[in-house]
Amino acid sequence: MDYENFALNLISGGIGNLLDYVTGDDVIAFTGSSDTASRFRGHLHVLSRGTAERAGAVADALSTRLAKITVGDPRNEETRMGPVINCAQQASVLQGISKLASEAEIVCGGKLAPKLDGIDGTKSAFVLPTLLKIDDASKAQAVNETEIFGPAATIIPYRNEAEAFALVARGGGSLVASVFGDDLDFLAYAVGELGASNGRLLAVDPSVAEGHSGHGIVMPRCHHGGPGRAGNGEELSGLNGLKLYHQRVAVQGSTALIGTLSAGAVTMA
């Protein structure tokens, strides 16, 4: 921070048109009701100049990438996204997007099946990659309750770390959450805060940015499941599934006996 050009102003009372002059370098702190908060957040200059707001930039960057994805017949070489498994799933995904759209803005994609050249829409199950964005997370409910098994995601802005962790917890349990950063102390703190709401956490710092497994990838030796809404258990993947079919017995005895038994034993991680 450039302390030579730093100024702190406290205003008790009306501020007139002061918000018309804020820039991306300003921070606004206030005390008041949710109505006051909504008026601040909804001000044109607060939105357009990004005062404490990056969701718009994230939405623009993601929608630009998503626009390059060609949806169509998987047999065509240029296709990068095919249909969902059947018409029933298509209907479920589009219904979920419609529910989210009741409280979120659709940035790209949509809640209707796309019309694609050479494809009969009545016999296909395509869904466009859809990105939504919520302006006020405190008023959002559907995004915390609606799980869409299809190409859809929602951007939810937050003011600070505590609010971000609280928003994750409002989901009622998840299979996996990913956290990105270059501060190991923050990543360690995030693991502690998010652990109770997720079955698995992917923490990515620059040293593994190019080589990590990716969000939500099932790994043979990793726990894959989660609390609450995520199934409240774990999936039977890899070695975890085999453990159910092995009888376990506890043996007490001398060191020599345990050593003899251990020599011929096969252990599972």
Contact 238, 213 (CB under 8 A): no
Q: Where are the domains of the chain?
A: 1-52, 54-157, 160-261
Res 39: pLDDT: 67
User: Which DSSP string do the residues of the chain spell out, in sequence order?
Assistant: --GGG-------S--TTGGGG--TT--------HHHHHHHHT-HHHHHTTTT--HHHHHHHHHHHHTTPPBS-TTSTT--B---SSHHHHHHHHHHHHHHHTTSEEEES-SS----TT--TTS------EEEE-S-GGG--HHHH---SSSEEEE---SSHHHHHHHHHTTS-EEEEEEE-S-HHHHHHHHHHHGGGEEEEEEE-GGGTTT---TT---TTS--EESGGG-SEE---HHHHHHTTS--------HHHHHHHHHT-----
Per-residue pLDDT of the chain (269 residues; tens, 9 = 90+): 455 566 666 766 677 777 777 766 666 666 555 566 666 666 656 655 554 768 889 999 999 999 999 999 999 999 999 999 999 999 999 999 999 999 999 999 999 999 998 899 889 999 999 999 998 888 889 999 898 999 999 999 988 888 999 999 998 888 889 999 999 999 999 999 999 899 888 899 999 888 888 887 777 666 677 888 877 776 666 666 677 677 777 888 889 888 888 887 766 55
Around Cβ 131, how many Cβ atoms within 10 Å?
Answer: 22
This prediction has a pTM of 0.67
The answer to whether domain 54-157 has CATH 3.40.309.10 is: yes
Read off the pLDDT of residues 204-263 as tens digits, 9 standing for 90 and up: 999 988 888 888 777 766 667 788 887 777 666 666 667 767 777 788 888 988 888 888
Dist CA 60 CA 108 (whole Å): 10
Element of type H or E holding 51: none
Contact 238, 269 (CB under 8 A): no
Dist CA 90 CA 63 (whole Å): 21
